Structures are given as structure tokens and as C-alpha cells.
Amino acid sequence: MHTDVAIIGGGPAGLQAALTLGRIHRDAVLFDDGTYRNATVSHMHNVVAHDGTPPEEFRGHARKQLTAYDTVTVREERVDTIEQVDGVFHLRVADGSTATAYALILATGVRDGLPPVPGLDELWGDLVAHCPFCHGHELSGQRVGILGAAVAPHLSALLGPVASELVVLADGEDLPDEWHPGPVVRTERVVSVERHDGGVRVALEGADGDQVHEQVAGLFVKPALRQSAPFADQLGLELNPSGCVRVDEFARSSRERVFCAGDMAHLAAYPMPMASVVMAAASGQLAASAATMALLARP
């Protein structure tokens, strides 16, 4: 199979890129192995005209609309490796097939590494989240927890107007010197979290070994981001200090005809990806427009 543009990723970035290429009648194949960053989320927020829409409904709708465009194909497959031979990108697909492409749009997203507290994984995307813009409003007027001393000043400032009370769970770490916390601060080690009474019950262990509990409506953490897919490595793409691929204003990576979109990439001027559904879709459109320009310049 040969295509003009291979898009790897079927989240908002890849889906928008496919739509944009379909609209301009360019051949594109989108690969999607079904591992979305917001897979555990029941409703997404801060998405204009889709505030509160379940993510799978959003993706399903986008996929259905793509069927109107004959030049776009969607394959529910994992791509394992990509290499460039004589200027052409060769993709090895998990089902054993191969595909070639003139240009690539990588939209493979990132994975979240959570602090190693038992119980966090089970509540992730539901009662435990990282983004006050996405999850804050639903906790309006309630007691909200923040896990981690280093992130406490920033998250407290954002959540202050939303929550009735903030509880910082410092987990044995020192709070930043210059910060004078307004919220309640618990210095004990965090032992575990669990769903309780519609919220989160946090078990803490003091220096004397005694356990105490804090009950909060929801808990915010700062995950460590890592690439979902190995392609930045395989293609030797330049990275930002965040670990995300460095792109320019036209979604171009450091390798010609490799464009990147969504959470996996950002401009050098940003400290991290501006990770949201709208931003991912916008960068997918930009990447597809830039890929189209590369096709026009093809000898």
C-alpha cells in the first residue's frame, strides 16, 4: 500500500489531520491502535460545542464523517516501526503488512506516568485528574486535594476560585520556600487512595506510624509525560526538554516531511504540550495543511 500521507494516531489530532487531507482530496491512511490518552474519561470538557461529550462519541462522530471522503482510509492497526529508505517512509504494521508514504503526520499522543501511590491508577480520569481546566468546574464548591508539594503553588492558584477548600498532600516533601500556603497542608506520607462516599479517601501515615484519613471530592496530580510510540526515536527527531517532539510554527519536525501534532509535540517556546482536544485538533489541521504544501512541492 502506498499513500501520500500516513497519519499515525486517531485521537483529535490525527482525526482532524485526516479530515483536512480528505477535504483537499489527498490520499491519506490513518492508523489507530485504539489507545487514547483520555480513554478513562467519561466526559470531556472545555471543548467548544462539545463540552461534556464522551470522548468515544466525539471520535465516533469524527470517524463517521471521514467516511464521506474517498481519499481517506482508516486502519485499526498498530504501526510498529517506521524507517526512511530513499526518501520514502516505510511502515511496518502489527498485522505483518507494510505501507509506504511520501509524508508522515505523527499524532501518537503521550502516556501519563502517575505518582506511585496505590489506588491512583484506578481513579485516573475520574476522581483523579491533572488539568483544572478539564476537571475543575465539576468540583465547584467542594473540598479538593492536590498531591505533591512542588505542584501545590500552581495548582492551588488555579483551583482557588473553584474549590471551597484545598488540601495539599505534600507526601513527605518540603513545600517550596517562597510559598506561603493558604490551603490546609498535610505533611504525612500518602499511603493509598480509594473511592469513598462519592469522592477520594486518602490514607496518610505519620512519623509515629499511625494512619489518618483525608476525604476530598477530587484529587489533582502532576503526571510525567512520555511518548506513546517509538517513532521519535526511530526517526531521530529532535526533542524538547519535556520529551515531546520539537516542531516549528508549521508543525514541521527536524526531519523533512515528518509533521507532528497533538500532545506528542510542541513549539520550543512552550514548556510542555498545550494538551487539550481543541489544541490537538488545531495542530492536526496545521500539520495536514503543511503536509499538503509538501505534496505540492513534490518533484
Ligand X SMILES: Cc1cc2nc3c(=O)[nH]c(=O)nc-3n(C[C@H](O)[C@H](O)[C@H](O)COP(=O)(O)OP(=O)(O)OC[C@H]3O[C@@H](n4cnc5c(N)ncnc54)[C@H](O)[C@@H]3O)c2cc1C
> Residues interacting with ligand X, by CB under 6 A?
8-14, 31-38, 41, 44-47, 78-79, 107-109, 112, 124-125, 129, 131, 134, 228-229, 262-263, 275-278, 280
- Of 135 and 257, nearer to ligand X (C-beta) is 135
Q: Is the dihedral of CA 278, 68, 80, 236 positive or negative?
A: negative
* Residues paired with 213 in a beta bridge: 203
Nearer to ligand X, 188 or 228 (CB): 228
| Smallest distance from ligand X to CB 35, Å | 4
**Residue placing its CB nearer to ligand X in the complex, 27 or 112:** 112
Please report how close the Cβ of residue 55 comes to ligand X at its closest, in angstroms.
7
Closest to 295 measured CA to CA, from 72, 106, 104, 107: 104
CB of 136 to ligand X, least distance (A): 10
Q: How far is the CB of 275 from ligand X (least distance, A)?
A: 4
Task: Compute the least distance from the CB of residue 179 to ligand X, in Å.
Answer: 26
Tracing cell 499515525 back to the chain, one arrives at: 8
Cβ neighbours of residue 80 under 8 Å, at least 6 residues apart? 92, 93, 94
Distance of closest approach, residue 287 Cβ to ligand X, in angstroms:
11
Cβ nearer to ligand X, comparing 48 with 296: 48
Nearer to ligand X, 107 or 204 (CB): 107
Nearer to ligand X, 203 or 277 (CB): 277
CB of 144 to ligand X, least distance (A): 16
CA angle centred on 167, ends 185 and 205, rounded to 5°: 65
Q: In this complex, which beta carbon is closest to ligand X, that of residue 44 or of residue 294?
A: 44
